A and B are shown apart, each in its own frame.
Chain A
């Protein structure tokens, strides 16, 4: 006897379709649409609402933005025009879906934060969002002297008032420039991207006192002796050299300024709170979020020295494809001291995380730190306000860089300079909805938000880093200001990424097993290399995909050229001819998508390019 599984009735599906469509039609025909002008809708033209949608739910951001909105409302000409600005804070998890639906239906907010949605990238940007090239080439009206505080350096006043809007940004608004579309499409409101270590000063001092005590014993306790650098024919052990510099550091209350000392502090915390005390404290509030921060930040110092050998397309930037092409061609190996050291370093740091850290999320890690149950946590400036507020009255928090090996310390010979943070990435970048009936006011508010006075005030509220010339950060986030010292992160290898498909999946999984201590290094390497060498889904497949991708890029470049030709011949825009030239550059220097074949030919002149059906 066969049992029948109940299936949804087609009647019901049809009826639901009718209902949904009818409801949508009624709403679409009866409510004011964003694609229609106020005049056409017969509503009060003075009652304009400019909506700003973002996903920054961190404490401080909404309050900071609201403070600027209220200041904007107080401006006489804004009041006279009856303009109101409203913010829509949407959780990150659903931001892309909400934005996509509303952008396509023409009901998107006037200002939308860029990111997460595919419609805020690629050519779609130009379809749905306003090109800002002309606007950012003009001075920002809200940087005129009457809007600036008294006592500013006259040179600063002159620069703010007279430079084009884009040049009043510390990064030249580079993060808003879209090289493919040849225009500015978004305006950053902060600097972003820098990650640091937050340190619980109370626990740090406890750990240092404990280390001082251990160092003063003769002979020192075994756990401490094992952390001291010892080299022998059997191999390296320990992390720090017990030299004068170490002694000087130990004598002070200063934070860990080298990687060895950082690991030493971690072990001291572990010894201090190893179960003999009531409180559970770990050295680092690790989680499935933060292990990646360490993995990313240590990539540059350990792997950037390979950049010149890996840069097959000469774009001065290493991606995941080039990383694995280099593995295949022998440009690097998992047995290289620098590569092995990188992974060993990550594993040593992971040992300072709580047990089962891969099952913990970002918020659980943050709570552990602010409740005083972790000595350190890695995060970005976006968590600064919540961490400082939550720790207030309980313990002091300091912010430090990810430390690098000091002279004589373990890995010092395999590690180069750290990563700089001058990348032009901006934070909370906003785009102007093309179909907004309030485009001018949306742009006006954006000018206000990124004027000297408002941008400083906004970022002081949010405890983020302001991005406008001459602005000053809150003291506690000063450490997050861009630091030019260090190597470009574009020089670092990338073991993972969507471009390397199955290799990335396997790498990510096995890396977690290795960091959790479930695999030895050799086992980890064996598994990852097996994935990379796989004849069907390994590096050969990546080459094939790379060539397909290049053909897509050529078509996209040609489409951009067609657009610039239209701007030149059909719309007769003044800047079109120079943009035609730039678009042609993108197209012609790709050699019709042959760069991968060319690169392969240079590496393996006698072997056919890998082809897959």
Chain B
């Protein structure tokens, strides 16, 4: 196993593109190192990207924030600007692992691991976050929503890796929230999850909604049919119930040791409803 720590994205891309065997990108390592230790993967090449320029920076950009691919959960959680603008994304990411893991784990890594249960991914999708990708043909942007393809697989081509994630600007009276269900209160993995991002008008009517669900299908699901139920409403009980049902209807889960199809389908609607109410309150609405 070779370990490389390049200092430019071009160098990193070249290493990843030319490796004939199994290559893995290392940032926080909270998935890669665990997988190596458990014998799940035996990479031939590890490319540590933590030496790249701005890879650990959070930079304001066009009213939003660009978050470097090696920014840890602990750093993100202490950033007042991101926390104020996208509280749901930050709370989703901070739910992952222990305090120690938070010191290492990254959102880009959470996305590239490809788990349907990744906590930060539904929140990023609801936020309409855009990943910036470095690759053999140069940099490109891709909505986070389009990156997971199936459990453990992403849309990244050979030689490509994520350098940053962009969380866009948003108007006033807008907020997001994330909730997951786990049997334990922490140190656990989502059985189902829901992220809701809302924009309200001056009288508290919802003008825009993005609802993304996790762990209920092979990849994260953005449920437009659920958004429609609450756009134009003040999140009254009837609309919320319709939204909740639309979420349950969008599920395509599996039965496994963590939960049944029936259970996941039911609780994801409950989570979406509760997350919507939190987001609504954060956005200044009064339910």
Q: Do A and B bind each other?
A: no
